[in-house]
Structure 1
Amino acid sequence: MNLKRIFGTILTILGIAGLIYTAYLTVTLGENNQTLKTALVYGILGLVFFVSGIGLIKTTKDES
């Protein structure tokens, strides 16, 4: 098992969870200014985690 691949998987899962939570906040809580800021922060962090996790998985080579 490669530690980088495991860390990439964890980052990807956290990114997906952040993006899903952003969608939930956007749909359910309406037009509150604080809610929109919170959703924006979670969305940006989720996107960064997701992209970095996918990049880490793709660039890590399998060595056996």
Structure 2
Amino acid sequence: MENALWDRLSVEVHALVDGLVSAGRNVHALAVMREHAGLPTPSLHECVDLLDQRFTVLRQGPTSS
């Protein structure tokens, strides 16, 4: 998945965001993204776009090679 904001987050934060998205805790996931992305702080719009992308990826499940 290509997303500049996702690339700025650590692997640990990826797991945290995915867990929050899977649990339906979207507002908390947005807060975590903004808190851990560093400067410049991403806009809410950027975070919502990433949230939508992660929801889609997680809903699709693992892909087979």
TM-score (norm 2): 0.36
Larger RCO: 1 or 2 (CA < 8 Å, sep 6+): 1
TM-score (norm 1): 0.36
Rg larger for? 1
